[in-house]
Chain A
Amino acid sequence: MNYLLVIILLPLFGFLINAFIGKKLPKTISGIIGSGTILVSFVLSSVFFLGFLNGTQQKIDVDVYDWIAFGDFKITFGLLLDQLSVMWLMVITGVGFLIHVYSMGYMHEDEKFHNFFSYLNLFIFFMLLLVLGNNFLVTFIGWEGVGLCSYLLIGFWFKNQDYNNAAKKAFVMNRIGDLGFLIGMFLLLYNFHSLHFGTIQTALGTIQVSHATIVAITMLLFVGAMGKSAQLPLYTWLPDAMAGPTPVSALIHAATMVTAGIYMIARAHFLYLLAPETMQFIAVIGAATALFAATIGVFQNDIKKVLAYSTVSQLGLMFMALGIGAFTSGVFHVVTHAFFKACLFLGSGSVIHALHGEQDIRKMGGLRKWMPITFITFLLSSLAISGIFPFAGFFSKDEILAAAYEHNKVLWAVASFASFLTAFYMFRLVFLTFTGDFRGTEEQKHHLHESPSVITFPLIVLALLAVVGGFMGLPEVFHAKHFLKEFLNPVFAQATQAGGEMGAHETNSSIEIMLMSIASILAVVAIAIAYVMYVSRKRIPAKDGEQYGIGKIIYNKYYVDEIYNALVVKPILVLSELAHDVLDRTFVDGIVNWSGKFSLMAGAQVRKIQNGSIGFYLLFMVVSIVAIFAFVFLKN
């Protein structure tokens, strides 16, 4: 338990140092402190992970101290480490460390270098709190904390007003989700008198709670997850969040924070298993998001926007997996996605770095010659996300698709089509960026260079993980051990018993081979189409304003932002104006001003009594005394 506290507190320590004395430290030291604390956390996490692996480590569920207590009501500040949280622990500290190292190179020119590292460390701290809390409230602190860090880092270059707006948008969108989370927690507290995961799980057997209540709780918690994990209809903040520096996009908006919703639902799976309606809803929302975001991704021209919509789409797939009860597959995809998506973002950062801030893929091309390492790592990760055998994405995506096929053929078809689109837009990105001729300016071409090793090192490591990461969950059809399923079995035992966990072992192996083949063929076809379009025919996406038809609609993201503006933002602004003019200016200000004026007026009147004439004072005194006596006398 002590080591557990060290894992959490080290990033906080790094944050404090960089926040308070970072300015005086040289950049290298500041960066080493930031990365070093995470590295130590990672090493300690690995010790726990290995302990769980060989069975020596038991589940830890401790209360550090009583936090809120009155009467017999008590909420403790407690930590929980089991197989599920240790998976996240490894991803957060492992990928987090690599991204910290990368940031040392990427942010080197930035004057607020130490601020950047302090925010990153604070983020890791809150993220660890989120996954290690043993009750909903501690998780919620982490949940809000990562939201704060996300806001700070999206608006890191706050001199650009657009970036500030993006940061605000992310913050406000998340508030909507958090309201759902909060109400869900209140309902839990009201019905179970506890927020502790374990207590609620055992209480489910003894306390009678109506089915409707469970559905309400799970739905509200899922609304929180929708906000944090950018699902329909609360996804619009994530593409805008790309305003932040690229390492932030990789760490927060691809690998860790946006998977918090999946973690929370996996953690509360015992509740969700009792609410099949909610599960169905989650599956539908997930599949819809996966398809919707994938179509938008096909028409985007900003390298980071494509990746952002891809993230939304992949998160949708994960939610679909949770919704059909394949919790392990969802977690599996979170882990592999963290590897290849972080690698893709960091690779795009490397490209942007080389082009001095250019993000438009129409002005790139042919970068393979100048940036071979970035190209190869990017290509490997793209293969992984497209689901090409034997890269990581193949296994995790295949598991989700197989489970979906078991559950509902429509979901399977939607998810398969989303995967097809994913493979297409990823290779559209690869071909437009790295092959063909360079389409930028001569000056940019002159400065083209491969990024320094501090940037390429994390790329290589992540690309390797993207290649081999899938082997932790080999399908049954290969007659190999599904490592992850065994590992997570203690956590999801209930789900497996309930028959909710639909894994490959129930699937007929011939069907599974068929599903794999379909997925692979779809991916290969998608890549081939992308190759023909962008390599053989050298097509370049149309300039802004020259799109037409459906392409224009999708390029403009189905005008969802505009619709939200018209339906929600504008009315709220009008209402606020009204409230300001009518309620505030006339009513509230009126009361305040009137009470002030009344006091002044009353004072002026009373002041006349104090006229300075002693004779009058004496008379007043005598009259008053007589009056008091008369009053007392008459009262008796």
Chain B
Amino acid sequence: MMNVMLSIFSVVPIQYYIFISAVLFCIGVLGVLFRRNAIIIFMSVELMLNSVNLLLVAFSAYHNDASGQVFVFFVMAVAAAEVAVGLSILVTIYRNVHSVDIDELKSLKH
């Protein structure tokens, strides 16, 4: 098992994982910043979360320490809960203003 793990890293070095995570995270950030659709923004946030998850798992394997993977499970569970709450808020917003465009949601101003 140990050998299998290490051999994986010999084929795909840890730098690659870091790189792909960073790219995913940046895509998420840009999505959050530039999209106007609340659902897309929501998905971008998930992308950011999962890029971090990927990095955690990669390092967990690299350091041969399971606690990183345990942490990922927690992140997933919390993310699931967050999605449930977030989506229900979005549904309620849509029922009220018939739109999920964040530029429309300015009624708290003043």
Query: Which A residues contact B (CB, under 8 angstroms)?
Result: 610-615, 618-619, 622
Q: Are A614 and B102 in contact (CB under 8 A)?
A: yes
Q: Enumerate 23 A-B pairs (CB-CB under 8 Å) in ascending A order.
A: A610-B109, A611-B109, A612-B106, A612-B108, A612-B109, A612-B110, A613-B102, A613-B103, A613-B106, A614-B102, A614-B103, A614-B105, A615-B33, A615-B36, A615-B102, A615-B103, A618-B32, A618-B33, A618-B41, A619-B33, A622-B29, A622-B32, A622-B33
Distance (whole angstroms) from the CB of B27 to the closest CB of chain A: 14
Interface size classification for chain B: 10 to 19
Q: Closest residue of chain A to B38, judged by CB?
A: A614
A615 to B41, CA, bound (A): 10
Residues of B24-63 at the interface with A, using a CB-CB cut-off of 8 Å, are: 29, 32-33, 36, 41
Residues of A contacting B32 in the complex (Cβ-Cβ under 8 angstroms) = 618, 622
Q: Closest residue of chain B to A625, judged by CB?
A: B29
Residue of A610, A613, A614, A622 ringed by the most chain B CB atoms within 10 A: A614
Distance (whole angstroms) from the CB of B16 to the closest CB of chain A: 23
A466 to B51, CA, bound (A): 110
Residues of B79-110 at the interface with A, using a CB-CB cut-off of 8 Å, are: 102-103, 105-106, 108-110
Contact with A along B71-84 (1 / 0, CB 8 A): 00000000000000
A611 to B33, CA, bound (A): 16
Distance (whole angstroms) from the CB of A206 to the closest CB of chain B: 78
Residues of A contacting B29 in the complex (Cβ-Cβ under 8 angstroms) = 622
Query: Which B residues contact A (CB, under 8 angstroms)?
Result: 29, 32-33, 36, 41, 102-103, 105-106, 108-110
Residues of A contacting B36 in the complex (Cβ-Cβ under 8 angstroms) = 615
Residues of B contacting A622 in the complex (Cβ-Cβ under 8 angstroms) = 29, 32-33
A619 to B33, CA, bound (A): 6
A277 to B59, CA, bound (A): 95
A611 to B32, CA, bound (A): 18
Residues of A contacting B102 in the complex (Cβ-Cβ under 8 angstroms) = 613-615
Distance (whole angstroms) from the CB of A628 to the closest CB of chain B: 15
Distance (whole angstroms) from the CB of B10 to the closest CB of chain A: 31
List 13 other contacts, CB 8 Å, given A615-B103, A618-B32: A610-B109, A611-B109, A612-B109, A613-B102, A613-B103, A614-B102, A614-B103, A614-B105, A615-B33, A615-B36, A615-B102, A618-B33, A622-B32
A615 to B104, CA, bound (A): 11
Interchain residue pairs A-B with the least CB separation, the first 7 = A612-B109, A612-B106, A614-B102, A619-B33, A618-B32, A615-B102, A614-B105
Residues of A contacting B109 in the complex (Cβ-Cβ under 8 angstroms) = 610-612
Residues of A contacting B103 in the complex (Cβ-Cβ under 8 angstroms) = 613-615
Residues of B contacting A618 in the complex (Cβ-Cβ under 8 angstroms) = 32-33, 41
Distance (whole angstroms) from the CB of B110 to the closest CB of chain A: 8
A578 to B106, CA, bound (A): 55
A618 to B33, CA, bound (A): 7
A615 to B29, CA, bound (A): 12
A615 to B105, CA, bound (A): 10
Distance (whole angstroms) from the CB of B32 to the closest CB of chain A: 6
Residues of B contacting A619 in the complex (Cβ-Cβ under 8 angstroms) = 33
A613 to B106, CA, bound (A): 6
Distance (whole angstroms) from the CB of A618 to the closest CB of chain B: 6
Residue of A611, A615, A619, A622 ringed by the most chain B CB atoms within 10 A: A615
Distance (whole angstroms) from the CB of A621 to the closest CB of chain B: 9
Q: Closest residue of chain B to A607, judged by CB?
A: B110
A81 to B32, CA, bound (A): 89
A610 to B106, CA, bound (A): 11
Residues of B contacting A615 in the complex (Cβ-Cβ under 8 angstroms) = 33, 36, 102-103
Residues of A contacting B41 in the complex (Cβ-Cβ under 8 angstroms) = 618
Residues of B contacting A611 in the complex (Cβ-Cβ under 8 angstroms) = 109
A161 to B102, CA, bound (A): 74
Residues of B contacting A610 in the complex (Cβ-Cβ under 8 angstroms) = 109
Distance (whole angstroms) from the CB of A269 to the closest CB of chain B: 79
Distance (whole angstroms) from the CB of B93 to the closest CB of chain A: 11
Distance (whole angstroms) from the CB of B42 to the closest CB of chain A: 12
Distance (whole angstroms) from the CB of A622 to the closest CB of chain B: 6
A610 to B108, CA, bound (A): 10
Q: Closest residue of chain A to B32, judged by CB?
A: A618
A91 to B108, CA, bound (A): 80
Residues of B contacting A612 in the complex (Cβ-Cβ under 8 angstroms) = 106, 108-110
Residues of A contacting B106 in the complex (Cβ-Cβ under 8 angstroms) = 612-613
Residues of A contacting B105 in the complex (Cβ-Cβ under 8 angstroms) = 614
Residues of A contacting B110 in the complex (Cβ-Cβ under 8 angstroms) = 612
Q: Closest residue of chain A to B106, judged by CB?
A: A612
Q: Closest residue of chain A to B30, judged by CB?
A: A622
A553 to B56, CA, bound (A): 106
A611 to B106, CA, bound (A): 8
Distance (whole angstroms) from the CB of B104 to the closest CB of chain A: 10
Residues of A contacting B108 in the complex (Cβ-Cβ under 8 angstroms) = 612
Distance (whole angstroms) from the CB of B58 to the closest CB of chain A: 21
A294 to B108, CA, bound (A): 86
A94 to B109, CA, bound (A): 80
A136 to B33, CA, bound (A): 78
Distance (whole angstroms) from the CB of A459 to the closest CB of chain B: 83
Distance (whole angstroms) from the CB of A424 to the closest CB of chain B: 89
Q: Closest residue of chain A to B29, judged by CB?
A: A622
Distance (whole angstroms) from the CB of A559 to the closest CB of chain B: 72
A618 to B29, CA, bound (A): 10
Q: Closest residue of chain B to A626, judged by CB?
A: B29
Residues of A contacting B33 in the complex (Cβ-Cβ under 8 angstroms) = 615, 618-619, 622
Distance (whole angstroms) from the CB of A619 to the closest CB of chain B: 6
A615 to B106, CA, bound (A): 11
A618 to B36, CA, bound (A): 11
Residues of B contacting A614 in the complex (Cβ-Cβ under 8 angstroms) = 102-103, 105
A622 to B34, CA, bound (A): 12
Q: Closest residue of chain B to A610, judged by CB?
A: B109
A619 to B103, CA, bound (A): 13
Q: Closest residue of chain A to B102, judged by CB?
A: A614
Distance (whole angstroms) from the CB of A615 to the closest CB of chain B: 6
A73 to B33, CA, bound (A): 69
A250 to B23, CA, bound (A): 101
Distance (whole angstroms) from the CB of B101 to the closest CB of chain A: 10
Q: Closest residue of chain B to A621, judged by CB?
A: B32
Distance (whole angstroms) from the CB of A517 to the closest CB of chain B: 102
Q: Closest residue of chain A to B35, judged by CB?
A: A615
Q: Closest residue of chain A to B104, judged by CB?
A: A614
Distance (whole angstroms) from the CB of A403 to the closest CB of chain B: 89
A613 to B33, CA, bound (A): 12
